[in-house]
Chain A
C-alpha cells in the first residue's frame, strides 16, 4: 500500500487563532523560545498498490477544490510515500 500526503496551512498573512492559542499555552508553561505557532492539516490518501500519475492528478485537484480553500489556506505539499508493510 502507498499513501499520498497532502499538507494544507493557513495563509501566512492571515491570523491563525488556533496557533496563537497554542503559543499562549507555551508561554503559560514558561516556554519562550518560539515566536509563532501555526497549525495546519495533513491528509493521507491511501492507495492499494502503487501511486500512479492518475492518483496524483486526482489528489492535486482534490487538494485545490475540496481539501483546501484558496481564500484562507495554501496547499504546501503533495507527495507520495510507500506505507510500511
Chain B
C-alpha cells in the first residue's frame, strides 16, 4: 500500500509520480537518493527527469546513488519497482533490466502522446491491463532508443520480457519497438513513456472524447496498489 518515489538531483517527475500513487489509492512516500532508507515501502518508483544533468550517461550517476544499493536489494527480493524514463535508464545502468538506452536515432528530443501496446500483464505494474491493450501516454525524451545485442534481444523476446511496445509509430529507433521491459521475475518494470502524466482528466493526453482527458496511465499505479493490498 505504501509506494515510495526516490528523488534524485535533477528528478522532475517525482511529484507527479507521488500524486499518481495517491490518485490510485496508495500511500505515497517521498524518498531521498542520499539516504539508505526505504522507509518501509511495499513498492518503489524511480521517476523521470534529468538526474545529474544526464552527465556521463543518462541515469548512470544516479544508478550509483547511496539508496540504489537498497533499491537493488529490494528488487532482487521481489519488491515491485517501476522506472519511468530516467528511472528506466537507471534500471538498465544498474543491471536490473537488460539492454541500454541511447540518443534517439533522429537526434531530436521528442515530446508526444504515444500509443503503446501492453504486451505483458503478468507484472504487478500491468496486471490491470488487458494483454494487447493499446494505451496512450506522454513520451518526452532525447535518449530513449532501446538497444541490445542480438543474443540479449533473443532472450528478451524468448522470455516475454517486453512489457510495452510502441504502436503506430516507433518514435526513436528502439529495436523491436521496445518501449518498456520487465525482469525475469516480473517485479521490475521500466519504460520510457510517462504513465504518471496520464492519471487525471484535464492533465493527460488528448482522447477522441475530449482534450487532455486521457488517464490510461493510472492503471499502472492502481495495479501495484492492488497487488500490494492483496498480498
Contacts of B102 in A (CB 8 A): 10, 14-15, 17, 72
A17 touches B60 (CB 8 A): no
Q: Are B57 and A17 in contact, CB atoms less than 8 angstroms apart?
A: no
The majority secondary structure among interface residues of chain B is loop
B147 touches A66 (CB 8 A): no
A15 to B100, CA, bound (A): 13
Contact A15 B173 (CB under 8 A): yes
Bound state CA distance, A56 and B224, in angstroms?
A: 46
A20 CB within 8 Å of chain B: yes
Interface status of B111 (Cβ within 8 A of chain A):
no
| Cα(A74)–Cα(B116), bound, Å | 32
Interface contact B56-A15, CB-CB below 8 Å: no
A69 to B90, CA, bound (A): 12
Tell me if A4 is interfacial: C-beta within 8 Å of chain B: no
Complex interface bits, B117-158 against A, C-beta within 8 A gives 1, otherwise 0:
000000000000000000000000000010111000000000
Contacts of A18 in B (CB 8 A): 103, 107
A69 touching B105 in the complex, CB below 8 Å, given contacts A14-B147, A15-B173? no
CA distance A14 to B102 in the complex (A): 9
Contact B92 A17 (CB under 8 A): no
Contact assessment for B105 and A15 in the assembled complex, using a CB-CB cutoff below 8 Å: yes
A51 within 8 A of partner (CB): no
A45 in the interface, Cβ–Cβ < 8 Å? no
User: Please, which residues of chain A bring their CB within 8 A of the CB of B105?
Assistant: 15, 17
Q: What's the count of A-B pairs with C-beta under 8 Å?
A: 37
Q: How far does the alpha carbon of A53 sit from the alpha carbon of B173 in the complex, in Å?
A: 42
Query: How far, in whole Å, are A72 and B92 apart by their CA atoms in the complex?
Result: 11
Q: In the assembly, what is the distance between CA of A42 and CA of B85, in Å?
A: 27
Residues of A within 8 A of B93 (CB): 69
Closest chain-A Cβ to B94's Cβ sits at a distance in Å of 11
CB distance from B140 to the nearest CB of A (A): 17
Contact call B60/A69, Cβ cutoff below 8 A: yes
User: CB distance B64 to A66 under 8 Å?
Assistant: yes
A67 contacts chain B at the CB level, 8 A cutoff: yes
Chain A contacts for B148, CB-based, 8 A: 71
Q: Is B36 engaged at the interface, CB distance under 8 Å to the other chain? A: no
> Does A1 interact with chain B (Cβ within 8 Å)?
no
B148, closest chain A residue (CB): A71
CB neighbours (8 Å) of A69 from chain B are: 57, 60, 93, 100
Q: In this assembly, does B112 line the interface, its C-beta being within 8 Å of a C-beta of chain A?
A: no
Does A37 belong to the interface (CB within 8 Å)? Answer: no
Q: Can you name the residue of chain B whose Cβ is closest to the Cβ of A21?
A: B107
Across the interface, which residues of A come within 8 angstroms of B57, CB to CB? 69, 72
Interface residue ranges, B against A (CB under 8 Å): 56-57, 60, 64, 92-93, 98-100, 102-107, 145, 147-149, 173
